[in-house]
Amino acid sequence: MSGTHGTETTAGPVEGHVPPEATSATGEAGDNSAGMAAVTRVARATLSPNGVIDDPTELRTYECDGLAHYRVTPALVALPETTEQLAAVVRACSEHRVPFVARGSGTGLSGGALPRADGVLIVTSRMRTIREIRREDQRAVVDPGVINLDVTRAATPEGYYYAPDPSSQQICSIGGNLAENSGGAHCLKYGFTSNHVLGAELVTPQGDIVQLGGLAPDAPGYDLLGTVVGSEGTLGIATTTTVRLVRLPEEVRTLLAGFRSTDEAGAATSAIISAGVLPAAIEMMDALAIEAAEAAVHCNYPAGAGAVLVIELDGASAEVEHEYAQVERFCTENGAFELRLATDPAERALIWKGRKSAFAAVGRISPDYIVQDGVIPRTALPEVLRAIAALSSSSGVRVANVFHAGDGNLHPLVLFDDARPGAGRAAEEVSGAILDLCISHGGAITGEHGVGVDKAAYMPKMFTDDDLDTMQMVRCAFDPDNISNPGKVFPTPRLCGEVPGKRKHAHPLVEAGLADAF
C-alpha cells in the first residue's frame, strides 16, 4: 500500500514518491519536449511576466498538494489571472498534447493536484475576485481562487453566509472545493459543495469556454454541472462559479458533550438523528484525538473523556430551544458525564478550534501520520470503531479518530514514526484495512477528500469493470486526448480509443508492462 491508499501528512520532509502515472498522459515514458516548448512560448506571451515559473528550484514549491507523500516536480507552472488567459494555456496544451493539472490552494488530501513531470500545472490562486454578492437572489459569483471563508466574510454584512466549510476553509479555494465536492462539519444539515453550486464557467480540455448552469436553479437538459462538480479536474477547469448563499440563522447553540467511550457518543448521535433532530453539525473525537488537540490548542475538553461530541444547532430561536432540550436529554441518557454550552462567541470558537485543528494537532503526539477518509452508514459507527480499535491493538499502530459523526464520514489518523524500520508500511496496511472496513459495511472509500492518485487502486473494490468503463466513457467524452489531470481517479491508464468491455487482444501498453487492464 505504501501511501497508495492513505493520505500522509508529516511533521517534516519525507522522501517523495512518484506514482507511475506521473510520466506521461497515457502512462508511457515519452518525450514531448517540442510540445512543452510550444506551450511555454504561449504561456509567456499570454501571462504576466511573473505568471510563468520554470526555474527548477521554484517549481519544487508546487511538487505536491496536502498529501506530501507523493511528489512530482512539474515541467511548468502557469499562473493565469483571467479565464481567457487560462483558456489560452489549455488550448496550447490541447494542440500539442501536453497534459495539464489544475491547482487551487493546494490543500487537497488525495493527491488530486499532484503535478505531471511532463506537463503544466495551472494554478488559479491569482483569480481571486468576488464578482457579485446578490443578496436578493441569495447568490455569489466568484473566481476559482477565492478563499472559501472569504465568501462568507463578504456575504455576512448582507445577512448571509456560504455553508460548505472544510476544516481548511481559511485557505482552501472555491475552485478546489468544486473539483473535490468538498464537505465540512456543517454538511450534515446543509450538504456538500454540489448542493451550493448553481453555475460554473468551464474551460474544457480543448480550451473552449462554456457555461454550465447559471443563476436560476435546475437548468434544463443533462446535468453537466453535476457531472463536473466532484470530477477532480478530469473534465476541465471550472473558473467563475455561482454559489448559493444561506441566510444567517437567528440563533446558534454549540454544545460540547463528554462521554466515557465512543460507543456512548455514537449511541447519542443515533438517538438524536433518529428522533428527527437535524443539527447543523455533530462531530466526534476520541481520546487520542482529544489528547492531540489539547497539546496543540489547549481547548479544555472534559478531563477523562473517551470521546466528545461537538453538536451545533442553528435556526429560529424557538426551534433551537426545542431541539436543544432533546439533544441534552439524549446525551444524558446515553452516558454524557459533562455538558458544556458555549455562552459567547469566544467559547464557541474554542470548542470548534479543538475540532478544526485535529489533523494538524496530531503532529504534537506523532512525528508522522496518515489522514484517512472513508464513509459508512451512521448506524455502523459503533461496530466499525470497535473494529478499528481491534486493528490498532493487533498491529500496535495507534489510531486517533475524528469525524463527522452525523453522516458517518470517518477521518482516522493513523500514527507512526517513519524513522522506525517498517513503521510506515505497518501504518499503511492499517490505513488500507480501514478502507476495506468501510466498503464491507456498505460505505465508500472517500467521503469528501476525493480519490485522486491516492485511492485509485481501490476503485475496483467498489465498482465493476462495466461501471469503470462507463465512467471512462464519460471522461473521454469531455477529454478524448486524456490530458486533463490524467492518472487520477481511475486505477490504470486507459485510452479513449479503446472499446469498453472484454478485450480480444492485449493492449500494447499492457504487453509492454506499462499499464494494467481492468
CATH number at residue 241: 3.30.465.10
Pair 228, 258 in one domain: no
CATH at residue 335: 3.30.70.2190
Give dist(CA 345, CA 108) in Å, integer: 29
Cβ within 8 Å of residue 260, ≥6 positions away: 304, 305, 306, 307, 335, 337
pLDDT at 25: 42
Is 70 exceeded by the pLDDT of residue 56?
Answer: yes
Query: What pLDDT band is residue 127 in, cutting at 50, 70 and 90?
Result: very high
Question: pLDDT tens digit string along 328-383?
Answer: 999 999 999 999 999 889 999 999 999 988 888 999 999 998 889 999 998 899 89
Beta bridge partners of 130: 142
Q: Are residues 158 and 184 in the same domain?
A: yes
Strands 368-371 and 160-161: unpaired
| CATH number of the CATH domain containing 59 | 3.30.43.10
Side chain identity, residue 463: F
Whether residue 17 lies inside any domain: the answer is yes
Residue 341: helix, strand or coil by DSSP?
strand
Same-domain status, 243 and 253:
no
Looking at the 3D structure of the chain, how many domains does it have?
A: 4
Residue 4 pLDDT level (bands cut at 50, 70, 90): very low
- What are 273-285's pLDDT values in tens digits? 999 999 999 999 9
Residues constituting the chain: 518
State residue 67's pLDDT score.
Answer: 87
Domain boundary among 214, 231, 247: 247
Please check whether residues 290 and 355 belong to one and the same domain.
Answer: yes
In the predicted structure, residue 514 carries a pLDDT above the cut 90: no
Looking at 123, 150, 165, the residue that finishes a domain is: 123
Cβ-Cβ contacts under 8 Å for 170 (sequence gap 6 or more): 147, 148, 149
Beta bridge partners of 186: none
Asked if residue 260 has pLDDT above 70, the reply is yes
Residues 149 and 114 in one domain: no
- Both 136 and 243 in a single domain? yes
Cα gap 450→283, rounded to integer Å: 20
Domain check: are 354 and 287 in the same one? yes
- Of 205, 232, 247, the one marking the end of a domain is 247
What is residue 491's predicted lDDT score, i.e. its pLDDT?
87
Instruction: Return all residues near 493 (Cβ < 8 A) that are at least 6 apart.
Output: 21, 26, 27, 486, 487, 509, 514, 515
Angle at 345 between CA 341 and CA 346, to 5 degrees: 90
Bridge pairing between strands 251-259 and 338-341: antiparallel
State phi, psi for 168 to the nearest 5 degrees: -90, 20
Phi/psi at 330 (nearest 5 deg)? -65, -35
Inside any domain, residue 423: no
pLDDT of residue 78: 98
How high does pLDDT run on average in the chain? Answer: 90
Would you say residue 441 lies in a domain? no
Whether 74 maps to a domain, the answer reads: yes
Query: What is the torsional sign of CA 488, 493, 494, 496?
Result: positive
Contact call for residues 77 and 102 (beta carbons, < 8 A) = no
In the predicted structure, residue 513 carries a pLDDT above the cut 80: no
Query: Would you place residue 498 in the very low, low, confident or very high pLDDT band (cuts 50, 70, 90)?
Result: low
Candidates 274, 312, 239, 261; CA nearest to 87 is 239
161 has which bridge partners? 246
Looking at the fold, whether 167 and 117 belong to one and the same domain comes out as no
pLDDT, residue 517, reads 53
Q: Which grid cell is 160?
A: 448571509
> What confidence score (pLDDT) does residue 492 get?
74
The answer to whether position 390 is within a domain reads: no
Query: At 67, is the secondary structure helix, strand, or coil?
Result: coil
Q: What is the pLDDT of residues 172-228, one digit of tens each?
A: 999 999 999 999 999 999 999 999 999 999 999 999 999 999 877 777 889 999 999
C-alpha to C-alpha distance for 330 and 67, rounded to whole angstroms: 38
Whether 207 and 312 map to the same domain: the answer is: no
98-116 tens-digit pLDDT: 999 999 999 999 999 999 9
pLDDT category at 31 given cuts 50, 70, 90 is: confident
Distance CA 74, CA 63 (A): 7
**Same domain flag for 114 and 179:** no
CA distance 126 to 382: 45
- Asked whether residue 439 is assigned to any structural domain, the reply reads no
- Say if strands 281-286 and 399-404 run parallel, antiparallel, or are unpaired: antiparallel
- For 482, phi and psi rounded to 5 degrees? 55, 50
Give the pLDDT band of residue 7 (cuts 50, 70, 90).
Answer: very low
370 located within any domain: no
| Residue-level pLDDT at 518 | 47
Amino acid at 178: L
pLDDT > 50? residue 480: yes
Nearest residue to 284 via CA among 376, 393, 182:
376
334 lies in some domain: yes
Read off the pLDDT band of 500 (50, 70, 90).
low
Place of cell 473494490: 461
257 and 341 co-located in one domain: yes
Quick one: 134 and 160 in the same domain? Answer: yes
The domain of 22 spans: 7-123
Give the model confidence (pLDDT) of 379-424 as tens digits: 899 899 999 999 999 999 999 999 999 889 999 999 999 999 999 9
